[in-house]
């Protein structure tokens, strides 16, 4: 039986703390949490299920958003209508990135931020991220465009950073004349 996750709100102090490295192999509890996150994120992106369970659409979630200060992120990417790829990275590190910067034209959202936030968040267009899968195997992922944005957003959570912290208060929106490409 599916039960929506209890995701912390942006005002919760845990979301501003630095998460700890995780010892491998993962505990059964952590693996169970990962499976719950994958189901929640997938259901949130399927309109019928999102309505049924009253879920806001989300593509990623980091353990701190559930009150667990562990360096684990999960992304469920719908790469084609109804087709999903799950990414689970334990102790992720961004090891390289492009010079090119991008921002989501519509702005970013977050399952911990239950309000509209105006502004563009500058991110790297392409990144390479390393870490471990839930079984302790070393993995390396190259991500671009919206997937790159998602990984950077979730890694920020592990360091107590929320997306709106990166919006320039003096110039919240980018234009064609800026060095940031809107996607």
Active-site annotation, residues = 154
Q: Which helix (H) or strand (E) holds 158?
A: helix 145-158
Nearest to 16 by CA among 168, 156, 169: 156
Per the structure block, which two tokens stand in for 118? 């105006």
* CB atoms near residue 79 (< 10 Å): 9
Who's near 126: CB < 8 A, 6+ residues apart?
A: 97, 98, 100, 142, 143, 144, 148
Q: 10 by DSSP, 3-state: which?
A: coil
């Amino acid at each position: 039986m599916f039960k929506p996750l209890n995701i912390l709100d942006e005002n919760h102090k845990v979301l501003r703390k630095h998460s700890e490295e995780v010892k491998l192999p993962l505990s059964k509890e952590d693996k169970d949490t990962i499976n719950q996150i994958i189901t929640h994120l997938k259901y949130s992106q399927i309109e019928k299920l999102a309505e049924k369970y009253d879920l806001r659409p989300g593509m990623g979630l980091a353990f701190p958003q559930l009150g667990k200060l562990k360096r684990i992120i999960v992304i469920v990417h719908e790469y084609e209508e109804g087709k999903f790829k799950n990414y689970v990275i334990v102790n992720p590190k961004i090891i390289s990135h492009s010079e090119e910067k991008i921002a989501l034209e519509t702005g970013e959202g977050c399952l911990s931020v239950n309000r509209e936030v105006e502004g563009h968040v500058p991110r790297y267009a392409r990144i390479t991220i390393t870490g471990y899968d839930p079984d302790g195997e070393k993995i390396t992922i190259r991500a671009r465009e919206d997937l790159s944005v998602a990984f950077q957003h979730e890694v920020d959570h592990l360091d107590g950073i929320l997306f709106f912290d990166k919006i320039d208060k003096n110039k919240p929106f980018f234009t064609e004349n800026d060095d940031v490409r809107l996607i």
